[in-house]
Amino acid sequence: MLKPQANPTRELVSLDGIWNFAVASSPNIETEQAWTKSISAKLQVPVPASYNDIFVDKAIRDHVGWVYYQRKVTIPRGWSASERYFLRLDAATHHGRVYINDHFLVEHIGGYTPFEAEITHLLAPGEQFRLTIAVSNELSWDTIPPGRIEELPNGKRKQHYQHDFFNYSGLARSVYLYSVPNVFINDITISTDLLAGGVGVVDFQIDTNQPVENERIKISLTDEDGNVVAKSTGQNNRIEIDSAHLWQPGAAYLYQFNAEILSDGDAKILDSYELSVGVRSVKVQGNQFLINNKPFYFTGFGKHEDTPIRGKGFDPAYMIHDFHLMDWMGANSFRTSHYPYAEEVLDYADRHGIVVINETAAVGLNLGIVAGVFGFKAPPTFSPESINERTQASHAQGIRELIARDKNHASVVLWTIANEPASSEQGAREYMEPLVTLTRELDPTRPVCFTNMGHATVEKDLISDLFDVLCLNRYYGWYSQSGDLDAAEQALEKDLLGWQEKYGKPIIMTEYGADTQSGLHAVCDVPWSEEYQSRFLEMFHRVFDRVDCVTGEHVWTFADFHCTSTMFRVDGNKKGIFTRDRRPKSAAQVLRRRWREQNRAAQ
């Protein structure tokens, strides 16, 4: 699915800004039909932003169900009958329904992937209309991530879910109106590889909205100096570049891939689309993760899209600042835990050579985690009453939409199809295996993983053989052996050696971290102190350096983030190396020293 772009053949109008806002009066929005009326400007919200923390109102913040966003939009007067126009939402978390004046246009479930619909037939150039977007934040056993709603005795509804981060909702990403010509490029799929002798390969497939003869599709590839290095034609083809300038971690290089549809006869450019393409290869071989046939060691973080006030709202200032902090630390990669991030993040990673492990929103497919902590017996995770085939169908759809959106990003080297599913429970294999097959069918070029949680030990886990890389989330010294780093060190090493021995595949520690209150200091091993977080990380690093299969370390987490309040989460999850407002804790120095040293050694 192509990101809309403005170019000589296409126009793009941003609908970001201030919208009118209202909370639905009942869970069934058909009764009030709010889109048929003007929503008052009494409450207004910025787009993009999660709405929850914008207002000073607990009822809105904790609202479960639908809210409405509304604004007036005008179709540009200059758009003509030879164009088609679309409305595009980069995300509506978790369920969006779009109305043009009184009419329903489109709906989409899944809070972190884009959707769009054509509106040419509904509106003429120059016409103004009322755009209403209803957004629901409800999570159920049918959604990804899953959840359930409890009806409380006081009549209120409470949303439960198995992940710790706050259920930020609304229009957290951009909304656009865009035009394309009548005959247009619908999609482009690029895959790249590296052949012997430094020959770079760019395989492409162009999908058009109607059949177009091969000779009318023209492709050119331009280097960063503006020189055309290759030309091609047709819907599918292969370009080979001698001595290709490769996209490398830490040293990005992007060619511009330009596709054009020419008119029959006079060869006028009818449509065009330009994509940045990094030429690189990705492979798993033995216990190594290879990028451009060289072993790559991941250093960095599991992150969240989370900032004060805007919640999960995309903010370019925070995004670029976070990337600079990662660079300052010497980190070379991150994981989009626990959902697909805004596309702008991947564009930036492509441009700056940051490696990305890209994750679906399948977090919380595990009823054992929370139950275990409270000491009660967990209900089965996979059952008709909980994670079932409808959840699996939504999960499959999430994978399709993630790959459709992100397949062309050089920075993306690995798909994580689930975070900490109950991989040792009965039903796990039946649930996951078809999803792995689907992921491989949709993208045969990238390896696939899931993140394993500590309870699903190497003896109990039922699914790891299906995957290319072992991604382990471990909390020795925090949730177990808390405060005892010697015992934690032994347990961690034994655990990792077990996985190494059984599979011999690359292991990435995709989470390891300790909650830390910034400013709390202690001489001894006192959990929550800054010193403890530093020593905790150092302990993990000693073990990583002793286990050959370890090919990466992603600390949990980049910055403190907001959670649903519980007794375990005092004003959020505090495992950040940075506070929520991006001030470093002492442990930043531990990582910075280690990663910069590793980077120097690799040069």
| Footprint of ligand BDP (CB under 6 A) | 163-164, 338, 419-420, 453, 473, 511, 556, 573, 575
List, edge to edge, every strand of the sheet that includes 175-181: 11-14, 175-181, 83-89, 115-118
20 or 473: CB nearest ligand BDP: 473
Residue 292 DSSP class: T
- Between residues 138 and 560, which has the closer beta carbon with respect to ligand BDP? 560
- Residue 213 known to be catalytic: no
Q: From the CB of 516, what's the least distance to ligand BDP, in Å?
A: 11
Select which of 83, 425, 511, 530 is catalytic.
511
- Rounded to the nearest 10 degrees, the angle between the axes of helix 343-352 and helix 389-406 is 40
Nearer to ligand BDP, 358 or 473 (CB): 473
Q: DSSP assignment, residue 158?
A: E
Nearer to ligand BDP, 278 or 572 (CB): 572
Torsion sign over Cα 116, 120, 123, 125: positive
257-275 CB burial, b ≥16 within 10 A, e <16: bbbbbbeeeeeeebbbbeb
Our answer to whether residue 511 is catalytic in this structure is yes
Q: Which of 420, 425, 489, 553 is catalytic?
A: 420
Q: What is the distance between the alpha carbons of residues 243 and 407, in angstroms, rounded to a whole number?
A: 24
| Residue 439, CA distances (Å) to 100, 162, 373, 450, 469 in order | 35, 24, 33, 12, 14
Distance set, CA 504 to CA 282, 297, 471, 578, 595 (Å): 18, 16, 13, 34, 25
Shorter beta-carbon distance to ligand BDP: residue 87 or 507: 507
Cβ 337 to ligand BDP, closest distance in Å? 6
SS3 582: coil
Q: What is the greatest pairwise CA distance in the chain? A: 80
Shortest spacing between CB 265 and ligand BDP, in angstroms: 58
Would you say 386 or 419 has its CB closer to ligand BDP?
419
- Distance of closest approach, residue 472 Cβ to ligand BDP, in angstroms: 11
Residue number closest to ligand BDP, CB atom: 164
CB of 434 to ligand BDP, least distance (A): 23
Q: Identify the three-state secondary structure at position 96.
A: strand
Give the H/E segment covering residue 166.
none
What phi and psi, each to the nearest 5 degrees, are found at residue 474?
Answer: -135, 140
Q: Which is nearer to ligand BDP, 130 or 569 (CB)?
A: 569
The strand pairing partners of 273, in sequence order, are 259
Q: What is the CB neighbour count within 10 angstroms for residue 407?
A: 20
CB of residue 558 to ligand BDP, shortest distance in Å: 12
- Considering the complex, what minimum distance in angstroms separates the CB of residue 455 from ligand BDP? 10
Three-state DSSP class for residue 445: coil
- Coil vs helix vs strand at 189: strand
Q: Which residues contact 220 (CB under 8 A, 6 or more apart)?
A: 228, 230, 231, 232, 257, 258
Query: Which positions are catalytic?
Result: 420, 511
